[in-house]
Structure 1
Amino acid sequence: MTTVILPRVEVSAHAIDRLSERCLHIWQESGKKNGIGLMSFFITKSREAYATLLKALAGSSICVSVCKISHEGVTYVFNNDHGVTRLVTAYLSEPNE
């Protein structure tokens, strides 16, 4: 069994509100069926999304303070302030994102 360590991401109440309004069906189709609560599901998904960015930037000297990451049909918007990564909002991804 391999343990995947995901980055620490704070999730704002606003982001959870937007996810529950805009992306509830994603949780209902996946998380709820597997007994995972709404907040836990979206926290994990946001951490997975941010991990893909970190993997893509590994070894580079690029510093990201605000970014959007499309992951599994949802676009997550992060900011990084004083070393703290925060999910500020999220919405359904457009086909070209």
Structure 2
Amino acid sequence: MRGYRANRFLARSMWFTNVELRVRLAETKLGKQRFAFGVAPFFDAGTVRDRWQDLNFKNIKTSYGGGLRIAWNQSTILSFDYGHSKEDRLFYFGIGQAF
């Protein structure tokens, strides 16, 4: 979950949900390369347990934030996210598709 350090929560079972609104703001062409720029506010929530039978809605951790998306030729996505949780505020960078 964005807003928590990597591997902060480790267990055998987990559930996680994410809501993200992607909005394309502008498109341009530089030479033969196409670029699209957008923003993505998000909300993440989840929990972990040692046994899947113990998964429930208690002690759910949440985070929220926003991000910038740059689509390069529609196949490569550069993502810059800033996540905020009760424990930390972190910046994330990614290359590739979201799904």
Question: Under a length normalisation based on structure 2, what TM-score does the superposition of the two structures give?
Answer: 0.34
Question: Under a length normalisation based on structure 1, what TM-score does the superposition of the two structures give?
Answer: 0.34
Q: Which has the higher strand share?
A: 2
Larger Rg: 2
